[in-house]
A and B are shown apart, each in its own frame.
Chain A
């Protein structure tokens, strides 16, 4: 049996499979179920400064391949809608009950140093293993100057990351938004700010469909709609590309990556790790199929590694990233071969 234990951005984890910051990691009850199923870690659903936000409903839209199978999911849910102290108490309890699992807390607070200091002290008191800075959320919070509004400006990314690193010894993962032109710039900014790693991708700005009777974008809230974050199997190619961009950028070389984006099974995870990721995070597949998919992820990765003779994840991590090259380095057909 291969050894799946690993360290992601300096945080030890029994396996590379984490639950992403999202509905399945929003409370004790769900995280406890995740750990029972075998997940190596969770990134707790994003905390903010009280009072808690209020969501709209419905807030999910789905893209179904040929009307049959969900391939992409879109949501405009915001950060946690529970009081800060309730979340903190549950995080503390979970970490005490599951000391071997990675418990990382996602954070999103306004861009001022006092708020960040305030919430970091609170998180440190829970015994959590690290923080993830949510610079990625494309809806609702970005209009208030948080989430993607920060993530889209490399200078802000660097500034806030630096505040966090100066105010806390907790490992700090910066979650990147894909709603930018070149993912390498915010990644470099995170590194410059002292981040211990980056996680990507957050969701992609999207509108899934239009109801042609009511002329409302979907999901429809009393006839109106808004862009939401797109995720699920459909976004995997985008995430895989962005992961490779950071993995092979000389300026961010070696920067730990926790990959996110449409990962549904052990093969997807192995692909991201071969592209350089130290671990992966999953949400949509859990919402679609349930926490128990991790059993196949662990077993399938194990069998594949045994078959290939890899004893630990480091044995194959990054192997495919070396084969990602700029287009001009690909061998081109001789002119006479065009019809082949």
Chain B
């Protein structure tokens, strides 16, 4: 017999909530940073540098921690990746730098590169040091649409190279998914906004929030008004589940819910189901599952249609969810909503398996999972009708060349809105930076 739908706020005390949403990796103190830094071999041909999408000179920044040259360490990081502070918190280092650290071979434990990167960048930001100077003014003006990681990275590099930049952002705050999309316990104490302040401190970057492309802004007008345009607009829409009419209550987009959570003044007021089912296999699915648990949900199940190896969430992320009492079920695809008295009571899944060609097929066997609340974390897609110029697309995203140039001359793009196969913060930062370098050359020709 199923239970009454139970969605409510205040399942845990404020104190308990605060504890649950503390920093998952408390910062290293100077003693521990020194110990960890000394584990680095300072490899000559370091695999970690090749594994970093922004090519930070990792051995160099770590050695500088061990010699007490923390400013130099932070400069090594931030000159390659202006969001080195955020990336230190959110990068899945287990599949990037730390995944290839040679210490894995020797002792099964990589140098904690991410935490060391955070140590240096935190030190610098506490000092309030701008670190970079602007090149002489070029007289050129660039519009950056979207104030997320790609846009801010691009804006900072353009400002550094001497161009004036206007950043247009649809939401109230800059920083994109760093502010609205990343799990709260990964970036505590308003770090996203402190990082924005640091980035803007270089000067030459004007910001206009609350203006949206396709509404208040027209791409054709930006192209007219500015010498170049960068689109870092992300993906404004989410994929839906196609298993019949979605019940009005109890079914949420994980992206929307995380945004509410990140902006909530008081987590006690945030309603959460007693029994939660999350559908999806990526980082967002992990984030919403764990956060539901931390908000006080009793029973959280994450369901993915293929196996653990196919999830885009890494082994470490999956383990993190499991340690936080999230149950992960695989090889199950949504079949139909379960309703009781006109309200959602659960979701029925069909067991799956790959056929001989690897294509997913249903096995016509079913499993019902009770739920008060279902979160959909099925990936994002681009909003339609936002461009008033003809833009060439590739699989639903903007088509760009190696440097991020779109099919329209003078318009570049980067971050989640381009087709690159990668969608991490660190990729967005790199794409913004590379586009800025290409734009600079183009503007000076």
Contact = CB atoms under 8 A, between A and B. Distances in A.
A293 B71 CA distance: 16
Interface string B275-305: 0000000000000000000000000000000
Interface stretch (A124-132, A294-302, A321-329): A294-302
B42 interface: yes
Interface in A296-316: 296, 299-300, 303-304
A296 B44 contact: no
A296 B60 contact: yes
B42 A296 contact: no
A265 B42 CA distance: 14
A290 interface: yes
Interface residues of B, number: 13
Given A289-B42, A290-B42, A290-B44, A296 B67 contact: yes
Interface string B58-70: 0010011011110
B42 A267 contact: no
B72 interface: yes
Interface in B28-42: 38, 42
A168 to B, nearest CB: 39
A299 B69 contact: yes
A292 interface: yes
A1 to B, nearest CB: 12
A97 B42 CA distance: 30
A300 B72 contact: yes
A290 B38 CA distance: 16
Interface string B65-109: 011110110010000000000000000000000000000000000
Interface residues of A, number: 14
A266 interface: yes
A300 B65 CA distance: 10
Given A290-B42, A290-B44, A267 B68 contact: yes
Contacts of B42: 289-290
B250 to A, nearest CB: 57
Contacts of A292: 60
Query: Which of A290, A299, A304 has the most CB atoms of chain B within a 10 A radius of its CB?
Result: A299
Interface of A: 69, 265-267, 289-290, 292-293, 295-296, 299-300, 303-304
Interface of B: 38, 42, 44, 60, 63-64, 66-69, 71-72, 75
6 smallest beta-carbon distances between A and B, as pairs: A300-B69, A265-B67, A299-B72, A303-B71, A289-B42, A296-B64
26 contacts: A69-B38, A265-B66, A266-B67, A266-B69, A267-B67, A267-B68, A289-B63, A290-B42, A290-B44, A292-B60, A295-B60, A296-B60, A296-B63, A296-B64, A296-B69, A296-B72, A299-B64, A299-B69, A299-B72, A299-B75, A300-B68, A300-B69, A300-B72, A303-B69, A303-B71, A304-B69
